[in-house]
Chains A and B, each alone.
Chain A
Amino acid sequence: MSRESILETAKQSIVEADEDMALEALKQAEESGIDLIDLLSNGYSAGMKELGDLFGSGEIFLPELMFATQVMKVATAEIESRMEPGDIKPKGVMVIGTVEGDVHDIGKGIVASLIKTNGVMVHDLGREVPAQVFIDKAKELNADFIGSSALLTTTMTQQKKIEELLETEGLKGKIRTMVGGAPVTQRWADRIGADAYCEDASEAVKKIMEWINQI
């Protein structure tokens, strides 16, 4: 089978959340001598990207996305078991939460789910998280990214506090931050010094993947 055809099978296996198909694509890739990193990046991961886009336009839903994530995990684990340590680029660690005083965590949960589906280790702190807890957990996990969500104009100021604490602790620039939530905009991100503003979960994934490629 051609490389294109095997990559397409791998991609479809994720889109259809079909574990058997995913393992069959892996077997075919090995038989055809296809680079497994190529299979992971341009096959399975391409499937996750397509699912993210479909989710963004309301054509598939979160549970379906999570089923696909399970298949992605199996495929990734199988590939990792065949590789030498260090062959696969680390995907980074993210700490995420809804800021103090804010109980709205639906959107944050979606973002956490989508980022997880792309292989990033996500530590979800939940809702009503004090700014200091974001920092402490990020230090404990040696996190690469902090994501904070605020749904209220009265709580978004907590995102500024996170930036200030990062500055105080000398972590500014070492841990990248992304902010989101209904009242949050790029202008707000620029004003408080956050590294990124993401309009929705799909954008958050794109930004994280862009950062990961720079690690």
Chain B
Amino acid sequence: MGEEKKYFTRMGDGSIVHMTEQEIRQDIEEGIQDAAKRGKIDPLTDDEKEKLYQIITMPGSIVGVEHGMQIVTSNDSGSDKINTKCGIPTSRDVNAMIHERLLGCDSVDIGYSDYNYKTVKGVAKREATVLKQALNYCTMPLFYGAMPNLGFYTKPDGPVDNWAVLLPEGKIEEALAAQEEAVDHAVRDIVYVAEQMNDVGADGFMLDTSGAAGDADFLVALKATEIIRDRFPDMPVEIGMAGEFVLGMHGKIKYNDVRLAGLYPHKQVKLVEQAGASIFGAVVNTNSNRSFPWNIGRVCTFVKACTDVAEIPVHANVGMGVCGIPMCENLPSDIVSRADKALIEICKIDGL
């Protein structure tokens, strides 16, 4: 008997691994069950599992979606990556044009290299000028984007006590109060920046990596969105998440009577809708110690549960270390294209 056929795939850290059909199917199943258990959601159906297996094992380095299933892309910190990350000396308006005319993107955001609203506040009018310049050159919609990044409001960089220090010290009441205070500062800064971007005609506003500092961080995104949509109704907002569930750094924070801590994507999206956002960026963490079949099984289970209930477009985050994409600097196209295909054809996402 010959050796059983093994298929090329990767681990969550990007390293190559060859797995048998049985090993792949087992990892898919385990990933699905992990998501179903954590999120208290339905597992994928047998047909969906089979489709996922076919996507993982199909020949060809890069795979594509079935004809007619192409979807749009939005992008976070996109306009800055060519310059800051790749070291190519281009301006952000040129980067936006490269995204539009060379890369075939459907939209991109203009973002500052220190990608958070607290930093941007100080240079907001200059940032608005950069956005305006890019808007003059591009046909596709341009967002302005950054992160709420509530952690930046803590001492010594910000005005409030650091709850990441207070909590381990057992100073719980102080930690909760600090988070609540930081919310007000962050919402104010974000709305101020949004106003500058609205003034120059931004097509959209991006709150990226929301919830990175926990439930209070997610509340910032929701409250800021509510105000922005009220004051600047012609400027849509995209809320992208930081992780698959909202970290309970506070634990008691609510929005519209729903406790934010512990919410998974299918529940996050409902609050994002209530806040008035137009696009939801779902995130599922990649486990770098597990295989792509395990990770993508898990991702599809979470994201499908989200798209099943969403009434606004869901754009899955498929960047480094999320939604099945390996945690490595240079993303392997074999895995990226398979993750995209699975998310589009199985989860019916609206965008990437």
Contact = CB atoms under 8 A, between A and B. Distances in A.
A192 interface: no
Interface in A66-108: 66-67, 69-70, 103-106, 108
A61 B167 CA distance: 11
Contacts of B327: 182-183, 185
Contact of B15 (A61, A67, A183, A187): A187
B258 interface: no
A122 B167 CA distance: 13
A141 interface: no
Contacts of B214: 62, 106
Interface stretch (A23-31, A39-47, A109-117): A109-117
B262 A106 contact: no
Given A104-B151, A109-B168, A124-B165, A60 B287 contact: no
Given A58-B262, A63-B175, A185 B251 contact: no
Contacts of B247: 58, 61-62, 106, 110
Contacts of B288: 185-186, 199
Contacts of A62: 167, 214, 247-249, 251
A213 interface: no
Contacts of A185: 12-13, 288-289, 327-328
Contact of A187 (B13, B170, B245): B13
Contacts of B212: 106
A57 interface: yes
B130 to A, nearest CB: 23
Contacts of A182: 321, 327
A213 B233 CA distance: 60
B248 A116 contact: no
A63 B167 contact: yes
B162 A105 contact: yes
Nearest to B263: A58
A126 B168 CA distance: 11
Given A105-B162, A106-B151, A106-B212, A70 B170 contact: yes
Interface residues of B, number: 42
A: contact size bracket? 20 to 34
Contacts of B162: 105
Contacts of A187: 13, 15
A116 B157 CA distance: 26
Contact of B321 (A103, A116, A183): A183
Interface string A172-203: 00000000001101110000000000010000
A61 B250 contact: yes
Contacts of B249: 61-62, 106
Interface string B34-55: 0001100000000000000000
B264 interface: yes
Interface in B170-184: 170, 172, 175-176
B164 A63 contact: no
Interface in B246-276: 246-252, 261-264
Residue of A64, A104, A182 with most partner-chain B CB within 10 A: A182
Nearest to B290: A199
Contacts of B108: none
A185 B320 CA distance: 12
Given A106-B214, A187-B15, A59 B168 contact: no
Contacts of B245: 57-58
B325 to A, nearest CB: 13
Given A58-B38, A182-B321, A186-B13, A67 B172 contact: yes
B329 interface: yes
B176 A124 contact: no
B170 A57 contact: no
Contacts of B302: none
A168 interface: no
B213 interface: yes
Contact of B261 (A61, A70, A104, A108): A61
Interface of B: 12-13, 15, 37-38, 151-152, 157, 162-165, 167-168, 170, 172, 175-176, 212-215, 245-252, 261-264, 287-289, 320-321, 327-329
